[in-house]
Amino acid sequence: MADTPQPIRGTQDIFGADAEAFGFVVETFERVRRLYRFRRVEMPVIEKTGVFARSLGETTDVVSKEMYTFDDRSDESITLRPEFTAGLVRAFVTNGWQQHAPLKLATHGPLFRYERPQKGRYRQFHQIDAEIIGAGEPQADVELLAMADQLLKELGIADGITLQLNTLGDAASRDAWRDALVGHFERVKDELSEDSQDRLSRNPLRILDSKDPRDRKHVETAPVIDDYLSDEAEDFFGAVTTGLNAAGVEWTRAPRLVRGMDYYRHTAFEFVTDRLGAQGTVLGGGRYDGLVEQLGGNATPAVGWAAGIERLAMLVAERDEPHADFALVPMGSDADLAATSISADLRRAGHTVELAYRGNMKKRMKRADESGAGYAIIIGDDELAENEATVKNLQSGEQQRVALGRLVEHFRA
């Protein structure tokens, strides 16, 4: 007997209540993005590797350690997308979408990163994503954050989630802060973890994210961005926080918060919770002015966020599979045909229908009960002889006969 194939490590099959929670997150996101008039967009799952290497930065962990990259049959380097933003910007540039700027875009789907699987994190995972490309005003940041805040509230998970907010300043501010961080961590390099020693030369801002106890004491005494902000960067961040207050979005300052990609500038944020263990970020993003230019477009400001669907679904209250409105219980081949016709009519009228077409009468009625339906519509030889169906209220047990041709009208009354 052949070995049973196993799923690839870091992937998952989603079913039952988990699948319903997953679907609820996506449906809620779709509804909220329409409220904010974000336009739906779809892009390829694969891109040329350069799209991510140029945009994310060769020194980031994603590019250096986590991307699924391979040569296709034309010997071109291809990568499974590890995040949405770079692909969205590539689409913006190559399709000439600049004519629509400022352009509000939203999407969701699978992403791929080769990292250690852990609670709520997988090698194939799914995200929802929202971006505003072509808007340099702080009001764009505020609108995106208000949208994220409303999404979490409509998912029913906002309690216990905190918006942490920081600024990375403009390019000059960030570069000055980076140099100060390098100087700070160089002085204690031998006391840092191996990962942080490696990041010191490649991406020193990422040391601020370290959870290693060896790093934390030095992170807590590290320079903060405020000491290096230009007047312009300070004014921009002030406009964002004032706008959030006006929109009724609660936030807390996190002066050492950074984002992992090289392209971030100005606003950086994360919605965090302690309900998911150490990896507590459920939604994050920021402003990435300069990325469009890196990918061959004109200098174009942009801001966006993304959130893991699996992680959001873990916070959603357990969702049962939806109940059926009706369960059809046919007995006999002629009854099967009648039930097929009736179920089609009921579904066209907007009703959910469970068709119990296997087993004896007892098993079919058990399936009808398990579907959670309010009514069972029973069709046997006696009913067919009268061109009727027996309609049973599964809560009260009451039964009545209804003409087959009047079933839809009967339940509309």
φ and ψ at 317, to 5 degrees? -55, 145
Radius of gyration (Cα) for the chain, nearest Å?
Answer: 27
- Enumerate the H helices of 57-158 as residue ranges: 61, 85-94, 138-154
pLDDT of residue 119: 66
Q: Is 264 annotated as a binding residue?
A: yes
Q: Is 84 annotated as a binding residue?
A: yes
Q: Is 113 annotated as a binding residue?
A: yes
Ramachandran bin of 229, using left for φ above 0, alpha for ψ from -120 to 50, beta for the remaining angles: beta
Tokens of 18: 């988990």
> Taking the CB of residue 11, how many other CB atoms lie within 10 A of it?
13
| CA distance from start to end of the chain | 58
Q: Is 395 annotated as a binding residue?
A: no
Q: Is 85 annotated as a binding residue?
A: yes
User: Taking the C-alpha atoms of 61, 275, 312 and 350 in order, what is their torsion angle to the nearest 10 degrees?
Assistant: 170
Query: What's the CA gap between 145 and 128, in Å, rounded?
Result: 14
Cis peptide bond N-terminal to 301, omega within 30? no
Per-residue pLDDT of the chain (413 residues; tens, 9 = 90+): 568 889 889 999 999 889 999 999 999 999 999 999 999 999 999 999 989 887 665 545 566 678 999 999 999 999 999 999 999 999 999 999 999 999 999 999 999 999 877 766 789 999 999 999 999 999 999 999 999 999 999 999 999 999 999 999 988 898 899 899 999 999 999 999 998 988 888 788 888 888 888 999 999 999 999 999 999 999 999 999 999 999 999 999 999 888 766 678 899 999 999 887 655 889 999 999 888 988 888 989 999 999 999 999 999 977 777 889 999 999 888 888 999 999 999 999 999 999 887 888 889 889 888 888 999 999 988 888 899 999 999 999 999 999 998 988 888 85
Model confidence over 201-227: pLDDT tens digits?
Answer: 878 888 888 888 899 999 999 999 999
Strands 252-253 and 162-167: parallel
Q: Is 263 annotated as a binding residue?
A: yes
φ and ψ at 168, to 5 degrees? -100, 5
Question: Domains (ranges, CATH) in the chain?
Answer: 16-170+230-315 (3.30.930.10), 326-412 (3.40.50.800)
Query: What's the CA gap between 285 and 271, in Å, rounded?
Result: 9
Q: Residue 374: CA atoms inside 13 Å, Cβ hemisphere, count?
A: 4
